[in-house]
Amino acid sequence: MEPDTSLDAIVIGAGFAGIYALHKLRNELGLAVRCFDKADGVGGTWHWNRYPGAKSDSEGFVYRYSFDKEMLQQWSWTNRYLEQAEVLEYLNAVVDRHDLRRDIQLETAVTSVRWDDSLAQWEVRTESSKVYRSKYLITALGVLSEPNTPEIPGIEQFSGQVVHTSRWPDGLEVAGRKVGVIGTGSTGTQFICTAAETAQQLTVFQRTAQYSIPSGNGPIDQEYLDRCRSNYDAIWDQVRNSIVGCGFEESTVPATSVSEAERTRVFEESWQRGNAFHFMFGTFNDIIFDPAANLAAADFVRDKIAAIVDDPDTARKLMPSGYYATRPIANKGYYETFNRSNVSLVSIKDNPITRLNENAVVTADGTEHEIDLLVLATGFDAVDGGYKKMHLTGRDGTPISDLWNETTAAYLGIATHQFPNMFMVYGPNSVFTNLPPGIETQVEWITELIRQAETRGSAVVEVSETAVRAWAQLCDDIANASLFPKAHSWIFGANIPGKTSRALFYFAGLGNYRRVLADESDADYPNFTFHSDDHTSLEREHASIPQ
Ligand code: FAD
Ligand code: NA7
C-alpha cells in the first residue's frame, strides 16, 4: 500500500494533549496534521474511564484549558469536581469549536512507528496496515492510558464479568449486584464510594491501605462560576507559577515550625475545606520532605479513620502505615462507606487472593467471597506503558524500549535523543502537576520549537543525549530529596512488577518547570541541534552545548 505523504505532522492520541496539539499545529502553524486515536471517540482518559464515580480530583475551575478565553466565560459545570461525562462533553465541545474533528481519525490504533533516516521522516503504521509519513511526530499517548491487568488464577472459570475500570462498557450497572473490587487507589476509592450506594454487596479487596482526604465535593452556584470567570487571568497566573497547579496557594510554613495544636488546627481546616492536593501542599510545605511533618499528617488521617469507622477491625485494616507520599487521593465519604452494611473489606495483604472459582474470589484462608462482577481498579502501566506497547523505533532502528531499558527519560519530558522530530506530551520526566496546565505548557513550547525549525528551514531537530541524561538525573535528585520515592506508587513505576522504579516526573513544580522551558528557548535551544535541509549531510546549524 502506498504511504500517505500529505502530512507534516502526526499526533497520536486525542485526549487533552492531542486535541490541543492538533489545534496549535494546524490552526496556528498552518501545518497539515492528522490525529489518530484507537478509541471510538475523542477525550482520552475521559472517553475510556466510565466507571461509576469517575470524576476529576482537580477542581473543575482549573481542570480545563486556559487558552480559549471565550469558552472560559461560557462553559458551565455543576460540582466542585467534574464528572467523567462533563469532561467528555467539554472536550468534544473544544474539538467542535476549533473545527478539529475533520482531522481526527478514530478507531485507528497505531501499531508501529519508525524513523526513516534516509527520508528524515516518521513512518506511522496503523492496525489496518495503512502507512503515513510525516516530518513531525507528536506522541500524546497519555500518562494513565495503558491498563495494568493482573493475572488471577482461575479467571477462566469465573461465570461473572471481569472489567478493568478504564475499559468500563456502556450500560454495565452495579445496582443490585454482588460486586468485588480489587484496588483502592484514586480510581478504586472513587468507584467504591459510588458503587456502595446501589450494589447489593460490595467486597473491597485491599492490598495497601491509602490516605483518602475529603474532596469537599458538592454543587457550585452561579456566584461561584461568576467569581471564577471574572478572576481567570489571575487564576491562571497563579496556577502557572505554582507547584501543583491546583488553584490554591501552596503553604510556605513548615509543619515542624508550629505547635502540635496549630498543626491539628491547620489539618482540620483543610480536612473540612476538602481537596487532597490542598491537604498535602496547602497546609504545610514540608509534608513530602520531612518525615516528622509527614508523620503528623499521617497520624491526623489515622485518627480520623479511627473516629469515622465503626468497626475497630475494619478501621485497623483501613489505616495506612507507610509514608503519606503517593499522588493524593480525594473522595467524598470514603471511610464512611465502610460503615454500610453492604460493604465489606478484605485485606489481601494479610489474606491474599489465591484464585477465582465459578462465583467467588477465594482467599488464602479458604473463604469464598461470592461475587458476580469483579472490578479491577488496578491502575496503569503509567507514563511509558503506551510507548513500549507501540513498536516505536528511532535512528538505526533503535526500539524505544531498548533506549529506555535502563533509564526511562526524556529531556523536559518532551524529547529524547535517537528520536528526532518526535515530541512527547507528558513523556517521562514531565512536571508533576494538575495536568491541563502542564499539558498546555508543553504543547505551546513544542509548537514554538517546531515554528523555529520551520523558520530555519531545518529538516531535523534533535535533543542531545547529555541533556536527556542530565534532566533525568535532576528529576531523580529532586525526587530523592523528598519522601515520594519511599511510597510504592505508579508515579515511580513501582506498581508494575519488574518495572524499574525511578522518578517518572519532575517534582519541582510547574512554575520552576516553566522557567526551565523559557530558559531553553530564550537561550536559542542550546540542548537541541537543528540539522539543515540537506539531511544527508546532517550539517550542524546549531551547536549543542553539553551541560
Ligand atoms: P489521555 O487522555 O490518556 O489520552 C491518550 C490517548 O492516546 C488515548 O485516548 C489513547 O486511546 C490514545 N492512544 C494511546 N496509544 C495509542 C496508539 N498506539 N494508537 C492510537 N491511539 C493511542 N489528571 C489531573 O490532573 N487531574 C485529575 O483530576 C485527573 N483525574 C483522573 C482520573 C482518572 C480516572 C484517570 C485515569 C486519570 C486522571 N487524570 C487526572 C490524569 C489524566 O490522564 C490527565 O488529566 C489527562 O486527561 C491526560 O490527557 P492526555 O491527552 O495526555 O492523555
Ligand atoms: P493506582 O493508584 O495505581 O492504584 C491501583 C490499585 O490497585 C492500588 O490499590 C494497588 O494496590 C491495586 N493493585 C494493583 N495491582 C494489584 C494486584 N495485582 N493485586 C492487588 N491489588 C493490586 O491506580 P488508580 O487507577 O487508582 O489511579 C491512577 C491515577 O488515575 C490516579 O493517581 C489519578 O490520577 C487517576 P497497591 O497500592 O499497589 O498495593
Q: In this predicted model, what pLDDT tens digit does every residue of 220-245 receive, in sequence order?
A: 999 999 999 999 999 999 999 999 99
Does the C-beta of 495 come closer than 6 Å to ligand 2?
Answer: yes
How confident is the model at residue 411, as a pLDDT? 98
pLDDT bucket at 499, cuts 50 / 70 / 90: confident
Nearest CA to ligand 1 atom 31: 56
Which pLDDT value is given to residue 536?
42
Please tell me the distance between residue 529's alpha carbon and the centre of ligand 1 in angstroms: 30
Atom of ligand 2 nearest to the CA of 489: 3
Taking CA atoms only, the protein residue closest to ligand 1 atom 45 is 435
Whether this model's pTM surpasses 0.85:
yes
Q: State residue 406's pLDDT score.
A: 80
3-class state of residue 444 by DSSP: helix
Looking at residue 306, its pLDDT comes to: 98
CA distance 371 to 154: 14
The predicted pLDDT at position 500 comes to 84
- With a 6 Å cutoff on the Cβ, whether 185 touches ligand 2 is yes
pLDDT digits (tens, 9 = 90+) for 505-533: 999 999 999 999 999 999 999 999 999 86
pLDDT of 204 over the 50 cut: yes
% of the chain with per-residue pLDDT over 70: 97
Residue nearest to atom 18 of ligand 1 (CA): 110
User: Does the pLDDT of residue 141 top 80, yes or no?
Assistant: yes
Q: Is 277 in the pocket of ligand 2 (CB under 6 A)?
A: no
Query: Is the pLDDT score of 546 beyond 70?
Result: no
Q: Ramachandran region of residue 412, left (φ > 0), alpha (ψ -120 to 50) or beta?
A: left
Q: For residue 53, which of 324, 321, 332 has the smallest C-alpha distance?
A: 332
How much of the chain exceeds pLDDT 90, in percent? 94
Give me the mean pLDDT over the 324-330 stretch: 97
For the CA atoms of the chain, what is the radius of gyration?
24
Query: H-type helices in 285-384, by residue range?
Result: 291-308, 312-318, 334-337
Would the CB of 434 count as within 6 Å of ligand 1?
yes
> 207: Cβ below 6 Å to ligand 2?
yes
Ligand 2 centroid to residue 174 C-alpha, Å: 20
Distance CA 290, CA 503 (A): 19
Q: What is the mean pLDDT of residues 397-406?
A: 93
188 Cα to the center of ligand 2, angstroms: 7
Q: Is 58 in the pocket of ligand 2 (CB under 6 A)?
A: no
Q: What is the pLDDT of residue 533?
A: 65
274 lines ligand 2 (CB under 6 A): no
Query: pLDDT tens digits, residue range 56-99?
Result: 999 999 999 999 999 999 999 999 999 999 999 999 999 999 99
Ligand 1 contact via 386 beta carbon (within 6 Å): yes
Give yes or no for residue 15 CB within 6 A of ligand 1: yes
With beta carbons less than 8 A apart as the criterion, state whether 11 and 138 touch: yes
Distance 44 CA to ligand 1 centre (A): 5
Question: Above 70 in pLDDT, residue 458?
Answer: yes
| Residue 540, pLDDT score | 37
Q: Looking at residue 498, what is its pLDDT? A: 85
- Please tell me the distance between residue 1's alpha carbon and the centre of ligand 2 in angstroms: 42
pLDDT of residue 89: 98
Average pLDDT of the residues of the chain: 95
Residue type, 290: D
Which atom of ligand 1 sits closest to the CA of residue 19?
A: 51
Tens-place pLDDT, residues 339-352: 999 999 999 999 99
Q: Residues with Cβ < 8 Å from 253, sequence gap 6 or more?
A: 284, 285
Looking at residue 407, its pLDDT comes to 84
